[in-house]
Amino acid sequence: MNLVIDIGNSLTKYAVFENRRLLQLETSESTLFLSKVKDIFENYPKVEHALISSVGKLENREKEILALFCKVHVLSHTSKVPFKNSYATPHTLGMDRIALATGAFYQYPRKNVLVIDMGTCVTYDMINDAGEYIGGAISPGFHMRYKAMHSQTEKLPLLTPEDFLDFVGNSTESCMHSGVINGLVNELDGTIDQYHARFQDLTVILTGGDSQFFVKRLKNSIFANSKFLVEGLNCLLEYNKS
């Protein structure tokens, strides 16, 4: 069995796999790391390998404690990847983006795949039909856009996302909702259209914490998979076992 741990900007995900079958997926605050790991090994004592992916800070003590339970691989830019990495600055490529590219490589072999991850930032990652990672884009995330309007102005309030009836707002709050939601929908559809124009038979994957909010709002055909990141991390763990 495998354990993959994805430490994000605000939350940590814990996923247990048997081969490629996902047995358990949990999310918690990063401060609960040690207690969560202890619970997982009590429930799944056959876990023999673990992978840690972190976009934030992981204390050495936490890595050392996890290593008491099983073999641990900390994902880094020196880790092996199954695809050809043509990113101009591979040492700056985020671990989450490496995992998403790996998931695309294994789940859609010899296909053009665009993975859109709607987390703290919106990331676009492209694997072509030759198995080559060629890059993508990064833009402000869903909640980040609300926070930016509030923090960078004197009077705009801090809002939480909600549905709005018309793209033409008739109050400050509805105008803000329209600007964020309608703007992001048009960004997503416009970006997908650009990739469709360049890459034939393109498969588009939408994942990340805010993806469900936008699934039915896009005109383009997509596949929604909220587990795509941890599935990619599990593939990386298998690939680096040797």
In the beta sheet, which residues pair with residue 74? Answer: 52
Annotated active-site residue 96? The verdict is yes
In this structure, is residue 46 part of a structural domain?
A: yes
Considering the domain architecture, whether residues 89 and 205 belong to the same structural domain is answered as yes
- Model pLDDT for residues 20-42, shown as the tens digit of each residue: 999 999 999 878 888 999 999 99
Q: Which of 18, 52, 74 is the last residue of a domain?
A: 74
pLDDT at 31: 81
Considering the domain architecture, whether residues 109 and 168 belong to the same structural domain is answered as yes
Domain count, the chain: 2
Considering the domain architecture, whether residues 162 and 102 belong to the same structural domain is answered as yes
Collect the ranges in the chain with pLDDT lower than 70. 56-59
- Model pLDDT for residues 232-242, shown as the tens digit of each residue: 999 999 999 97
Where in the sequence is the domain holding 187, given as residue range(s)?
Answer: 84-233
Considering the domain architecture, whether residues 62 and 89 belong to the same structural domain is answered as no
Q: At residue 235, what is the residue type? A: C
Secondary structure letter of residue 68 according to DSSP: T
Considering the domain architecture, whether residues 65 and 182 belong to the same structural domain is answered as no
pLDDT at 146: 97
| Helix (H), strand (E), coil (C) string for 141-196 | CHHHHHHHHHHCCCCCCCCCCCCCCCCCCCCHHHHHHHHHHHHHHHHHHHHHHHHH
* Given 6, 96, 125, 210, the catalytic residue: 96
CATH no. for residue 6?
3.30.420.40
> Please, are residues 100 and 87 in contact by the beta-carbon 8 Å criterion?
no
